[in-house]
């Protein structure tokens, strides 16, 4: 169980269940003790009445004044019984008929209370004591049938259980409401995390409970630190590439001069080729320096806005060819990554398509819950299937008559690889030209 709300709810439910069971048990026990004390108090009154009616005749035989004994002691098997034991004889209530009670041991200094089984399997509450009457020890016990009281207690216990169940349900609803309200700030943080991963917000809100606010602040600080390090790395690589580019340009210009006399071995041509190779590598690293990769949290680029500007730029570059550049982008489509990476990726793929297209270039954007598709097609001659794999290798150009260093598709492949995606090259089924399709995974956002 990993949910904090589930853990709190389970703990509170268990505590409430134990408290409810304890309340029912204590309530039932208290009701029984109260009923038993009430019946015992009434029996002690009957015990005193029997003691007051007791006397001895001249022969020492015990006798009772009938007019001082209640009528319930004369009703057969009424449950109201008395039994008197003396050294000279025994007296029993008329309600016992011919039955006898088995009395527990009685004490002379205190009242004894006990449950016994009476005639017809009655459960009797007995109260008894040993007295001294006319200097004679006398054991007197009176009883009352406790069965009706037990039935009443069972009804009360059932009602108590029903009331406790209703209260338990109400408390469960209340504690769920309290837990949800108490965890509402955490729920807000949980909802913001997917938005942060999709780039809809730059940071998490600090309106969180004091217990988790340091964690949120630390996450925001790490995001800032990540962005700062990314910018520093890109600037450092860009500065290095620019620093190398200047002396390489000077060397290239020198190499463009006519070869010195007596260059029989062709080393001047080798020098030119090596300088061109170094220049191509420098251009590649300069472009790679602009790749952020991975999509830092808090970044999101709206495709329709950026692509519109990019297409406008490409139309100006290729204005002499009157290309029809078409973009099919669903409204609200976004790229959860770095803006420069997106422009570099689409710029290379679209510029490559514009160079080879006859008249049409098409960009199609598609997306589902976890993948973004960028499909660029043209109506040019395309590429032979056996040369498609070589196109993604840096510096490879199928047609050496075209300008450039053959880095566009390689750079695009690097960008796609940095984001954990794939770049597929092939032939367009609709335009019958070259097809480049970048498949980029969207950030994992969990259950929103």
Is there a single domain that holds both residue 101 and residue 244?
no
Is there a single domain that holds both residue 280 and residue 418?
no
Let me know if residue 164 belongs to a domain: no
Determine if the pTM surpasses 0.85: no
Within 13 Å and on the Cβ side, how many CA atoms surround 426?
8
Let me know if residue 347 belongs to a domain: yes
CATH number at residue 68: 3.30.450
Q: Residue 439's pLDDT is what?
A: 92
CATH number at residue 324: 3.30.565.10
- The CA distances from residue 309 to 198, 337, 353, in Å, are 23, 18, 17
**Of the candidates 256, 289, 322, which is a domain's last residue?**
289
In whole angstroms, what is the distance from residue 372 CA to residue 341 CA?
A: 14
- The CA distances from residue 365 to 69, 99, 204, 272, 278, in Å, are 105, 101, 29, 42, 36
Is there a single domain that holds both residue 300 and residue 282?
no
In whole angstroms, what is the distance from residue 170 CA to residue 166 CA?
A: 6
**Residue tagged 């009670």 (tokens):** 101
Residue 327 parent element (H or E): strand 324-328
Is there a single domain that holds both residue 298 and residue 284?
no
Let me know if residue 142 belongs to a domain: yes
Q: Which residues pair with 63 in a beta bridge?
A: 55
Is there a single domain that holds both residue 267 and residue 305?
no
Of the candidates 150, 62, 47, 143, which has an alpha carbon nearest to the alpha carbon of residue 103?
A: 143
Is there a single domain that holds both residue 374 and residue 229?
no
Structural domains of the chain, count: 3
**Phi, psi values for residue 328, rounded to 5°:** -115, 100
In whole angstroms, what is the distance from residue 134 CA to residue 357 CA?
A: 134
Q: Residue 114's pLDDT is what?
A: 94
Per-residue pLDDT tens for 169-190?
A: 998 888 888 887 777 777 777 7
Question: 145 in helix, strand or coil?
Answer: strand
Q: Does residue 66 contact residue 195 with C-beta atoms inside 8 Å?
A: no
Per-residue pLDDT tens for 211-268?
A: 777 777 777 777 777 777 766 676 666 666 666 666 667 666 666 667 667 655 566 6
Is there a single domain that holds both residue 201 and residue 95?
no
- For the chain, residues with pLDDT lower than 70 are 1-3, 197-200, 208-209, 230-232, 234-248, 250-257, 259-260, 262-268, 270, 272, 277, 279-300, 390-407, 443-448
Residue 436 parent element (H or E): strand 434-441
In whole angstroms, what is the distance from residue 347 CA to residue 353 CA?
A: 10
Q: Does residue 20 contact residue 41 with C-beta atoms inside 8 Å?
A: no
Write out the residue range of the structural domain in which residue 214 sits.
Answer: 197-289
Instruction: Give 217: exposed, middle or buried? Use CB within 10 Å, 0-12, 13-18, 19+.
Output: middle
Is there a single domain that holds both residue 35 and residue 70?
yes
Q: Residue 180's pLDDT is what?
A: 79
What does DSSP assign to residue 6?
H
Of the candidates 335, 344, 422, 426, which has an alpha carbon nearest to the alpha carbon of residue 385?
A: 426
What does DSSP assign to residue 136?
E
Is there a single domain that holds both residue 140 and residue 8?
yes
Q: Residue 130's pLDDT is what?
A: 93
What does DSSP assign to residue 194?
H
Is there a single domain that holds both residue 285 and residue 306?
no
Question: 175 in helix, strand or coil?
Answer: helix
**423-438 residues labelled b (16+ CB within 10 A) or e (exposed):** bebeebeebebbbbbb
Supply 192's token pair: 């913001």
Q: Residue 445's pLDDT is what?
A: 38
Let me know if residue 163 belongs to a domain: no
């Amino acid at each position: 169980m990993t949910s904090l709300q589930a853990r709190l709810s389970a703990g509170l439910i268990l505590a409430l269940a134990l408290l409810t069971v304890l309340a029912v048990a204590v309530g039932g026990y208290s009701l029984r003790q109260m009923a038993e004390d009430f019946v015992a108090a009434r029996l002690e009154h009957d015990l005193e009445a029997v003691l007051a009616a007791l006397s001895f005749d001249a022969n020492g035989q015990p006798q009772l004044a009938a007019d001082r004994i209640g009528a319930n002691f004369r009703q057969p098997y009424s449950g109201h019984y008395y039994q008197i034991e003396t050294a000279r004889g025994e007296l029993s209530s008329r309600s016992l008929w011919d039955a006898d009670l088995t009395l527990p041991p009685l004490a002379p200094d205190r009242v004894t209370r006990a449950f016994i089984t009476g005639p017809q399997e009655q459960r009797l509450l007995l109260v008894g004591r040993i007295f001294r009457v006319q200097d004679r020890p006398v054991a007197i016990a009176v009883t009352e049938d406790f069965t009706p009281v037990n039935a009443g207690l069972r009804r009360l216990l059932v009602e108590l259980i029903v009331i406790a169940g209703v209260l338990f349900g109400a408390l469960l609803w209340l504690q769920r409401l309290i837990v949800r309200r108490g965890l509402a700030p955490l729920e807000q943080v949980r909802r913001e995390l997917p938005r942060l991963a999709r780039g809809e917000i730059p940071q998490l809100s600090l309106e969180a409970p004091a217990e988790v606010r340091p964690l949120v602040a630390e996450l925001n600080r790490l995001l800032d630190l990540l962005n700062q390090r990314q910018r520093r790395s890109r600037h450092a690589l860009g500065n290095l590439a620019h620093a190398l580019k200047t002396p390489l340009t000077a060397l290239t210009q020198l190499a463009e001069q006519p070869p010195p006399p007596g260059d029989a071995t062709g080393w001047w041509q080798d020098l030119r080729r090596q300088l061109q190779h170094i220049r191509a590598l420098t251009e590649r690293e300069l472009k790679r320096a602009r790749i952020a990769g991975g999509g830092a949290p808090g970044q999101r680029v709206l495709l329709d806005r950026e692509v519109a500007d990019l297409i406008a730029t490409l139309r100006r570059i290729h204005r002499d060819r009157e290309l029809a550049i078409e973009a099919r982008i669903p409204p609200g489509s976004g790229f959860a990554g770095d803006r420069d990476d997106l422009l570099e990726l689409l710029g290379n793929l679209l510029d490559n398509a514009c160079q080879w297209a006859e008249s049409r270039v098409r960009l199609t954007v598609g997306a589902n819950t976890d993948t973004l598709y960028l499909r660029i097609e043209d109506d040019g001659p395309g590429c032979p299937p056996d040369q498609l794999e070589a196109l993604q290798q840096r510096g490879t150009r199928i047609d050496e008559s075209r300008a450039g260093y053959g880095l566009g598709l390689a750079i695009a492949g690097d960008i796609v690889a940095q984001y954990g995606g794939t770049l597929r090259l092939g032939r367009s089924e609709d335009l019958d030209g070259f097809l480049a399709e970048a498949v980029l995974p969207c950030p994992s956002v969990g259950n929103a």
